[in-house]
Structures are given as C-alpha cells and as structure tokens.
Structure 1
C-alpha cells in the first residue's frame, strides 16, 4: 500500500469508522469504503428507562413544614434519578461506539445527534432521548426525507422545541423556525411569514405520559397554509416532504456533511453540484457521504479536521480495547464535561461547534487528564510488549497516526513507562486532529 493510499485509509477509518481497534492494521481496511458504508447497524437493544415524574405539589400539605421538606427531598431524588439515567445512557452509547464492528452507522448517528441537537436537560427523559437515538440510527443512512419526517414529530424534539403544546389559534413558532434554519434549509432560505405558516402546519401534536407522540386533529389548524410559495393544507409529514424536497435543502445538507467529514473549507461549486447529484431525488444520505469522501479534496493534505472530543474519546477507547463502562465513572464524567461535549446534552439547538474551538490550552489539559485515566484502565500490550526502542512507533501504529519528528522526540523519554507514553500519545497533536 502506497503512502497516499495509507493516508486515505487512515482518514476513512478515522472519519467514517471511529478509529482502529487493536489488531486492525491499515492493510485490513483495503476495501474500506464499501466495507464501511455497507455496514448495517448492529442489533444491540436500546436501553429502557422508567419515566421519572416529579412529585405533585400538594398545596394543603405544603402549609406543613414537614410535608414541604419531604416534597423537596422527593424532587431532589427525582432529579438525581434523571441525572443517573442520563449518565447511564451516555455510557451505553460510548460503549456501543467503542466496541461495535459496524462503526459507520454509529458515526452517522453521532452526526445526526449534532444535526438534530436535542438536550436531555430540557427533555428530562433518558427514555425519550434513547428513542430519538434509535430512530436516528435506524433511518440515518437512507432517505433524509424519512429521517426528517420522523424528527419533526419525535417526542424528545417536540418537548425540546416546544412543539407539544402548539394548537390551532396558538401555534408555537420555535420548532418551525429551527426545523427550517438548522435542520433542512439553512439561513436565508425562508421568510418570517414562512415560519408563521409552517408553525400552523405543525399544530396538533402532544406527548403522552408514556412518552409517545400523538396527533390530535381537533388541536390542528386545518389550513391551508402557504409555505415557500406552495399552498396546501399542510401537516407535519407534508411540511417535512416540502422542505426536504427543496433544492436549498440538498445543498444545505451536502454542506453539513462536507464540513463534518471532509473539510472546514466549503466545497467548490462543481464539487457541490456533484454531491447534490449523488444525493439525488431519493435524498440518499449514504450516497452523499460516499460522494463526499470520494472527492479529491478528501485526500488533500490540507484536509485536516479537528476531532470532536467525543470522537477523540471513542477513538481512544477503541484503540485501547476499553469499553467506557470500565473507565472509573468519576474520571469519565469529569473528562467529558471538562472537554465540553457531553452526549445528549448539546449547548443549544445549534449543536456543538467544529474546528478550532476545541483546540484551547484548557482542552489540551483535559485531554491529557482523561488520557491518563484511559491508559491506566486500557490494554497497553500492543505498546508495552514491544522492545523499548520500538514503543514510540508502536504507539503510532496503535492510534493509526504518523508522528512528526518533534512529537516523536517528545515521546521517546516516556518509552520506559508505557502508561505515560500512551497517555501522551493520546493527547498528542497528531491524535487530536484527523489528518
């Protein structure tokens, strides 16, 4: 395999495949693209969580100081239970990404989690977040229209963007606005009147106590509505079909895929046209990703992406043969929060940033601290079992990177101490970016 082919393979397995596991040399990935993109999601079950309800306030009992204290304690216990469920859900997904033999569906699910960014902090239900995660995994590689239609009435999304209480005469515009701006069309491709009309089309949905979403016709505005020049009695599926069928939607989604898998630099017009053509009238997401990583820019040496903290963490877990559930809980929780990217808790509906915001001095220190905890818990034999003089190269092979002379020189004094060597390698510049 030539050097250029090795670079392409490493990029593919890092950007589409979450990083190598022990014993997976470059040569094992020769049929990379077909093998990666053709992988079906594994069938591991989605975790089930019981719904946690806050205790109802009893006004008459609240007059009694003891009853008030008990009510406060019960609410605190409910908050703690929800937080523990969210932690368990996060560890479950990290475990799944770290151990799966079908990494592309998980990588794509992570992409969709950032695209349709929804936070458990407002949804307050690990069960609903797990359900949304399963939907994104099930539909994420196929027709974007199907995924977008599912997300517009997803129970967690309806809570997150205030769609569950929207009714005829009182439409809430939040879901309609974000759905057009952040999920399907992008900035500048709709008007405020389009938002108002789309909000009417989305009325009538509620979220039941059991976590299911239900359409209630009496609460729905029958229309007709005029959205982007089309007039019809729109409902949620009809609106999703209209928006995902717009040419602006194809270009918008192509740009999002490009930025997360290929380059921070937008594609040139000809390349963008090729991406849109591959996406096609079937709105085929996997075909779009295939076109993006087949473009010449993907193998351009300048195509360097900063690895998002979760992708960096998952790559480290895979390299060390280490499920997240075997990392000390306090160290894992502290590391995730310190790095600023906690699954199921994006900072806003816009999701997490990309690129240089992850390259702060504080982030580098957090990566090193977490890397030390990972190295202490993981399998270091691919490095430790090598002669001391070969361990720096073994660490590069373990992570699927190539050291610069400067990094190799910095790592050599640590060769006698494999845990410190591996921790430093994990936190190195070469492993922080996808080059």
Structure 2
C-alpha cells in the first residue's frame, strides 16, 4: 500500500533530518517498506571524516617550550573547530542521512570528550562505520578507541591497581543499565580490562604485563576473562538488547516508552545477534511508529534543527564559525557532551534563552542578518571559549549565510498551496497561529521564513 504524505514526512523526520520538497516527487508512490529500503540503500556508503590528518602528541607538548605550547594549543583549537564544522557540513549535504542520524545517536550514547581531535575523529568514524552494522563490533571498537580509553581512564587500568571508570560506564550507560549488575561485577569487570590502552600512534594495545590474569566471577560466570569476554557476557543478557531498544525508542518514537513495543524491538535485536539494521527496519515499518501520538511529539535536538534547516533551504556559510555559535547558544556542541551520560534531550533542549534563539535563527540565517549571542560558559569547554571572545559579553555576529532560494522554490511541486507547503515544513497540524500565516502570506519565500520561525518548526 502506498504511504501517505504524512507518513513519509514522519519517516524522513525521524530516520533522517527532514523531507525536502525535492524528495516529495521521488517518494510519492512508495510504500513504507519501499521508502525504508530506499533510506538504507542511500546510506550504504560510509563517508568517514578526514579533516584531521595527523595526531598531535601530548608528550611532545609537555616537552615543548612556552612558544611551541601556545602554537600547539592554537592548532588544537583549530582542529576541534574544523572537525565539528566538517561533520555539520556532511550531515547537511549527504544522501546517507540515515547513517548520519544513527552516527549522531551513537555519538550521544557513547558520549566522550577528548582534547585530541585526531582521537575524536577516529571515534566518530567508528560510530559512523558501524552505525547500521553490528552492535558487538561497534562496542568493541569503541571500547578500544584511544578517545574512550583516555576519557574513562582505562589507560591507567592495571593489575593490582584497577580503575573502575570504564567498567562501570560500560554497564550503566553502554549496555545493560542500572539494576542489572552489582558493585562486585564492576570490580571484576575492571580487572578484565586491565592492560587495555593505546600507543602514541593512536592504536589500541593490549599490554599483557599490566593485565590481571586471575580468575574473575562476572554476572554469575567464572573464568580467566579479558575485556572481550566481558562484552560477550553482557550481550548474552537480553537486558542489554532491551536497554538499547528503549533508548532507540525514545530517540526515534516517543520520550515515553511503550513497554510492549520496546520488548518487541528487543526480541528482534537479540534474535538478530545485535544486528542494527533488522531492528531499525522493524521499527520504521511498525504500524505504531506512525500512530498519531508519535507524530510531531519530539523536540528537535539543536544539531537536528540546524542540519534540517541547512538541508531544507540549501544553506551555505561564508563564516562557518557561526555554526559553532548556534550549537553553543542552543546547548549542543558536537564532540563536547556535558558528561559521560550525554545530552539528556527531550524537554531539556528548551529554555527561555534557547527557544528565543531557535525562533530567531531561521529568519536571521535566511535573510543573511546579524544575531547577538550571550555565550553560555562551560568550564571544561576551554577550546570553544576562545571562539566567542569574552563569554559574558554579548557578541554581535554577522551570519554571512546564503540560502539557495532558486533551488528551494523550484523544488516545490507546481500547484502547491500555502497549506501543503506548511504541511511539508511542519510536523504538526496547523493551529490558529499557523493558519493565520498561511492565509495572510502571499510570497512563498516570506511564507517559508515565517513558518521556519515558529515554535511548531522545533518539533519533529
């Protein structure tokens, strides 16, 4: 059965960054299954970020003189900015939007901070490469990445002096969830991961002389376990499949999980040996995914909002640094999650300040105007503080952005009414305010800008 326009908009809003007018013709006569298959087909390509070409050695930094250290810090800041902008640009322009949307999910699930942009890029490429693949492969590669080993102190985890940080977060946040393990399991798991580290080239190394080779008892099993054994035992527990499924449900469907639907997802995931694609195919083709209560009920994450705006209006930035200021003002700077638990999301995205910016940004960007930022200070965010000068002062920034209005306007199907244009741009049914905009606005460009500047545009 051919999907209706509302279902197609919902699918693209959740499995990607929104349905563009240019997509409406190509998707007009597809069934939901065909549309889902098309999204997977378009996302088969894996386009890794390669903005950072070399690793800056922290050891060399420590040995350098003051002048060289200053240059090192400047280079570090430039690399962090370049990596962020590179990913935003890729999400805003790629056809592999399902892969990027899932890479964004894993970026938050495996939340990690590192001042080494080479390590950050490496971890991001691991998450993108495995975004639609196998969860076991993904979690093993993440666990062995220098960024995560450094962030959660496993580089210092060695026999006789075990460090429990990584072992704890592996269970609490990455796999099985709270309530499904004991403090003793954390201790035994930490022993299994002793010796896991990385070398100065940024490659994983298992250091046998630092590994605790003794017997360990973990989640009821006893053996001479290493780190990979711990991961295997965690995946044997169906609670892990359910934990991931619940998080995906909240990301793609509804902030309030439906236990029956989450359990059905967990069954699919577990029985598919943690292959991610069958789980997502099940999710995106389920009748309940398209239920009225699950449409237009999620608040766009700041990155989703910016990327969706960029894609819909084909925006290019002469001053890409302004995108970083958007992220900061809205509360989501890529590669800088607030803590190891990641961004909480949902209604946490909105406060009086961020909502003001969300409503102001579209009109400002689409008209190439000036916007004033009052930067929010993150004490750990040293690198980005330098990009907005004194954070406590308002900074007026000329957007220097341009939308491709010719491309946008010619992509709108002929004969489209103001109401159909509004239905494509917004996830929710028109209300009194939206109907007023629809009825009073004659110029399509003005209509699009007004609609994108409404609170309703913040929903997906």
TM-score after normalising by structure 1: 0.87
Equivalents in 2 of 1:299, 1:398: separation in Å? 16
Alignment of 1:91-110 (within 5 A): 91-110=85-104
Measured on the aligned residues, the alpha-carbon RMSD in Å equals: 2.7
Equivalents in 1 of 2:96, 2:240: separation in Å? 28
Question: Which among 107, 115, 123 is matched to residue 113 of structure 1?
Answer: 107
Equivalents in 2 of 1:29, 1:83: separation in Å? 46
Aligned to 2:28: 27
Note closer, same or farther for the CA distance 1:371–1:176 as it changes in structure 2 (3 Å cut): same
Secondary structure (helix, strand or coil) at the match of 1:241 reads: helix
2:49–2:87 Cα contact (<8 Å) kept? no
2:314–2:408 Cα contact (<8 Å) kept? no
1:18 matched to 2:17? The reply is yes
2:437–2:450 Cα contact (<8 Å) kept? no
Aligned to 2:262: 272
Secondary structure (helix, strand or coil) at the match of 1:306 reads: coil
Secondary structure (helix, strand or coil) at the match of 2:293 reads: coil
Note closer, same or farther for the CA distance 1:130–1:367 as it changes in structure 2 (3 Å cut): same
Secondary structure (helix, strand or coil) at the match of 2:280 reads: helix
Question: Which among 79, 84, 99 is matched to residue 90 of structure 1?
Answer: 84
Equivalents in 1 of 2:30, 2:69: separation in Å? 51
Higher mean alpha-carbon deviation, 151-160 vs 40-49, is at 40-49
Alignment of 1:341-360 (within 5 A): 341-360=332-351
1:321 matched to 2:314? The reply is yes
1:216 matched to 2:207? The reply is yes
1:114–1:352 Cα contact (<8 Å) kept? yes
Equivalents in 1 of 2:364, 2:225: separation in Å? 53
Equivalents in 2 of 1:124, 1:209: separation in Å? 15
Alignment of 1:279-428 (within 5 A): 279-281=269-271, 282-303=273-294, 304-323=297-316, 326=317, 328-376=319-367, 377-381=402-406, 392-393=418-419, 395-396=421-422, 399=425, 401=427, 403-410=430-437, 416=443, 418=445, 421-428=447-454
Equivalents in 2 of 1:395, 1:85: separation in Å? 40
Structure 1 residue 45: deviation in Å?
4.3
Structure 1 residue 400: deviation in Å?
5.7
Alignment of 1:240-251 (within 5 A): 240-251=231-242
Structure 1 residue 126: deviation in Å?
1.3
Structure 1 residue 349: deviation in Å?
0.8
Aligned to 2:394: none
TM-score after normalising by structure 2: 0.83
Higher mean alpha-carbon deviation, 274-283 vs 156-165, is at 274-283
- 5+ residue gaps in structure 2? 368-401
Note closer, same or farther for the CA distance 1:338–1:146 as it changes in structure 2 (3 Å cut): same
1:20–1:318 Cα contact (<8 Å) kept? no
Note closer, same or farther for the CA distance 1:411–1:105 as it changes in structure 2 (3 Å cut): same
Equivalents in 2 of 1:412, 1:127: separation in Å? 52
Offset from partner CA, 1:38-57 (integer Å, 9 cap, x none):
44442434213322345655
Equivalents in 2 of 1:81, 1:22: separation in Å? 40
Structure number with greater CO (CA < 8 Å, separation at least 6) is 1
Structure 1 residue 211: deviation in Å?
1.2
Note closer, same or farther for the CA distance 1:372–1:241 as it changes in structure 2 (3 Å cut): same
1:109–1:140 Cα contact (<8 Å) kept? yes
Equivalents in 2 of 1:77, 1:408: separation in Å? 55
2:111–2:342 Cα contact (<8 Å) kept? yes
Equivalents in 2 of 1:237, 1:94: separation in Å? 33
Equivalents in 2 of 1:96, 1:106: separation in Å? 8
Higher mean alpha-carbon deviation, 81-90 vs 286-295, is at 286-295
Note closer, same or farther for the CA distance 1:136–1:29 as it changes in structure 2 (3 Å cut): farther
Structure 1 residue 404: deviation in Å?
2.9
Offset from partner CA, 1:316-336 (integer Å, 9 cap, x none):
11101235xx35224212111
Equivalents in 2 of 1:384, 1:37: separation in Å? 28
Higher mean alpha-carbon deviation, 19-28 vs 124-133, is at 19-28
Note closer, same or farther for the CA distance 1:138–1:56 as it changes in structure 2 (3 Å cut): closer
